[in-house]
Amino acid sequence: MTVSQYDGVTGKSSSKTYSKYYDDGVWLKPKHVGLSVVVDHEKMRTPVASAVQQEMGWSGPSDSYANGKVTVYIWNLDDRPHQIRILKVTSKGESFERSAAASSAPPKGRSGGVVGNLKIFNYGTELPMKIDYELDGKLGTVELKLVRRTPEENAVYFGAEGTPPYPWFDGGKKWTDLFP
């Protein structure tokens, strides 16, 4: 998605291109267990119908929304495993609950996977999210503000030499610093 702006005062135009990925990370247990969420923006469209709509210059209500594939990662910095269960994910009135059994977050490692899907705004650049979870038998809730990244930000944060923008990477730590 590319967003263009025009400044009437200076007469200059600018544009910013966004990738299809939103992300954020937060501690569940400070200095021990972190949680990061990535939402993959998947446009909802019917190939033939979309082509006809575009050709005719029409856009319908479905053009405003996309499918957001929600992936949750658990970052365990401890030398022992932790049991984690994602119970509910909510964003802007959309939510889904999970009945999956708790999974083990291995020591000194990252684990996780796709937990569900949400309907998201097609042209958004931020996505507030609330996650209810259970960590080692204790219930908790975290609130995140997922940011839609540009391709350049994705390269800086998640490229081969990247440092993700999550609190457990403070001070410019690399993956190998956390999980030698």
CB-based contact 101:112 (threshold 8 Å):
no
Q: Which residue has the higher pLDDT, 146 or 43?
A: 146
According to the model, what pLDDT value does residue 161 have?
81
Q: Across residues 79-90, what is the average pLDDT?
A: 96
Is residue 68 pLDDT above 80, yes or no? yes
Beta bridge partners of 60: none
Q: Across residues 51-65, what is the average pLDDT?
A: 55
CA distance 144 to 116: 17
**Where are the chain's structural domains?**
2-175
Give the pair of three-digit tokens for residue 4: 């263009």
- pLDDT, the chain, mean: 87
pLDDT tier at 107 (50, 70, 90 boundaries)?
very high
CA distance 13 to 128: 29
Give the pair of three-digit tokens for residue 38: 């990535």
CA distance 180 to 167: 18
CB-based contact 161:28 (threshold 8 Å):
no
* Torsion angle in degrees (nearest 10) through CA of 87, 102, 37, 115: -70
Q: Which residue has the higher pLDDT, 155 or 47?
A: 155
What is this structure's pTM? 0.84
